[in-house]
């Protein structure tokens, strides 16, 4: 018996999660996985239903489950609420409370989508990058932080960027191990020409390299990494970086593949339990229209089966089914190109189930 907690979230969240759950039921039957589902609220949904963007009940259920599938949180409906009640705060709280420090964000170019990218096909065809982002530290969580009033009466906003040795080592280990099962190239991204926190980051990551002699380690400043990602993205295999740089670079990498609507992610704690969510947001502009792309969530489910539920066959089957559906020429609006057929969220989910 494996317990999976479903957090539909806000705006398109429930729409895309519904499709992923259909796929989960299908592989559960096909591969006899013994999945037991439960549901809880996160984000604006949590605030509206239970008065908190990360209700205690959600945290309790999360701690009792083997894996969590999240849709997306946030939206203009909650723009007016106090900062600590914002939907994003719910996401940050659950990441931090469960210590989901290891965020894996693959950017893979499906050959069928080469023309959906804004880069020329020769730069992105065959692209397969993994961004390893530290998720529960750095400037996102550093104290002190806040907005204070200075002696001259004006206000000042401030945050703290810090990483301890152990925080750097544990994310470094995730990245080196990921590189070992891929092409054995790791690029660590920092801003060590300016920020002390990343001087230490570079020192620790360099020190770890001797434990992984087969991995070719390089270092890059984040501004250069941003440039190289759009200039020559195929030079990268695995990238490892802190929370804020990883947030930014993973959106850039996502777009290289044609649509952020295709990219899954995994956020893991030290024992491999994890939360799985698409890299994209809650897309309030298209919510309720039935046009959102459910594939990133369905592919996140595949990552869940592989990393947290020890069901690699089911994971492979889902990824093959997604590829088969793309081969059939079915596309949601975000990946539509000439000569392909536009389908909605539900039709896309049904097509994946049928391909399974």
Q: Are 227 and 210 in contact (CB under 8 A)?
A: no
Known catalytic membership, residue 79: no
Token representation of residue 217: 């380690």
Handedness of CA 114, 21, 43, 292 (dihedral sign): positive
Known catalytic membership, residue 251: yes
Stretch that binds Mg ion, among 88-96, 143-151, 245-253, 340-348 (CB under 5 A): 245-253
Q: Can you give the C-alpha Rg of the chain in angstroms?
A: 20
Q: Is 247 in the site for Mg ion (CB under 5 A)?
A: yes
Query: Which residue in 38, 48, 99, 251 is the catalytic one?
Result: 251
Known catalytic membership, residue 350: no
Nearer to ligand IPM, 74 or 261 (CB): 74
Query: Which residue in 191, 212, 307, 334 is the catalytic one?
Result: 191
91, 171, 178, 315: which one contacts ligand IPM (CB under 6 A)?
91
Q: What pairs with residue 219 in β-bridges?
A: 188
Q: Is 88 in the site for ligand IPM (CB under 6 A)?
A: yes
15, 19, 66, 247: which one contacts ligand IPM (CB under 6 A)?
247
How many angstroms separate the CA atoms of 137 and 303, rounded? Answer: 23
Q: How far is the CB of 127 from ligand IPM (least distance, A)?
A: 20
Q: How far is the CB of 69 from ligand IPM (least distance, A)?
A: 15
Handedness of CA 297, 303, 305, 311 (dihedral sign): positive
Token representation of residue 330: 């079915």
Report the partner that residue 91 touches, choosing among ligand IPM, Mg ion, none (CB closer than 5 to 8 A by kind).
Answer: ligand IPM
Report the partner that residue 88 touches, choosing among Mg ion, ligand IPM, none (CB closer than 5 to 8 A by kind).
Answer: ligand IPM
Burial of 244 (0-12, 13-18, 19+ CB in 10 A): middle
How many angstroms separate the CA atoms of 215 and 213, rounded? Answer: 6
Token representation of residue 130: 């993994």
Q: Are 24 and 318 in contact (CB under 8 A)?
A: no
Nearer to ligand IPM, 92 or 200 (CB): 92
Which residues are part of the catalytic machinery? 140, 191, 223, 247, 251
Judged by the rule CB under 5 A, the positions of this chain that interact with Mg ion are 247
Would you tell me which residues interact with ligand IPM (CB under 6 A)? Answer: 74, 88, 91-92, 247
């Amino acid at each position: 018996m494996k317990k999976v907690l479903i957090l539909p979230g806000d705006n398109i969240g429930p729409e895309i999660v519904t499709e992923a759950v259909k796929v989960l039921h299908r592989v559960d039957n096909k591969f006899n996985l013994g999945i037991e589902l439960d549901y809880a609220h996160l984000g604006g949904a949590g605030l509206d239903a239970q008065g908190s963007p990360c209700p205690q009940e959600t945290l309790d259920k999360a701690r009792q489950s083997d894996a969590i599938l999240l849709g997306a949180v946030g939206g203009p409906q909650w723009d007016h609420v106090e900062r600590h009640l914002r939907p994003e705060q719910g996401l940050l709280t659950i990441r931090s409370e469960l210590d989901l420090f290891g965020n894996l964000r693959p950017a893979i170019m499906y050959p069928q989508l080469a023309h959906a990218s804004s880069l020329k096909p020769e730069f992105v065809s065959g692209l397969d990058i993994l961004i390893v982002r530290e998720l529960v530290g750095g400037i996102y969580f550093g104290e002190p932080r806040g907005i204070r009033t200075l002696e001259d009466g004006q206000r000042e906003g401030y945050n703290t960027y810090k990483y301890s040795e152990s925080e750097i080592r544990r994310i470094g280990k995730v990245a080196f191990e990921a590189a070992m099962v891929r092409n054995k190239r790791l690029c660590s991204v920092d801003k060590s020409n300016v920020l002390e926190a990343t001087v230490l980051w570079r020192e620790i990551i360099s020190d770890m390299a001797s434990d992984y002699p087969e991995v070719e380690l390089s270092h890059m400043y984040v501004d250069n990494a941003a440039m190289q990602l759009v200039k020559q993205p195929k030079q990268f295999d695995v990238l490892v970086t802190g929370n804020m740089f990883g947030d930014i670079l993973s959106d850039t990498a996502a777009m290289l593949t044609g649509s952020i609507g295709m990219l899954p992610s995994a956020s893991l704690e030290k024992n491999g339990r994890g939360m799985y969510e698409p890299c994209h947001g809650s897309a309030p502009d298209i919510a309720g229209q039935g046009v959102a792309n459910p594939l990133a969530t369905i592919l996140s489910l595949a990552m869940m089966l592989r990393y947290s539920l020890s069901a690699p066959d089911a994971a492979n089957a889902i990824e093959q089914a997604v590829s088969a559906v793309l081969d059939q020429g079915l596309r949601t609006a975000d990946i539509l190109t000439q000569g392909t057929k536009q389908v909605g969220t539900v039709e896309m989910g049904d097509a994946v189930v049928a391909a399974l």
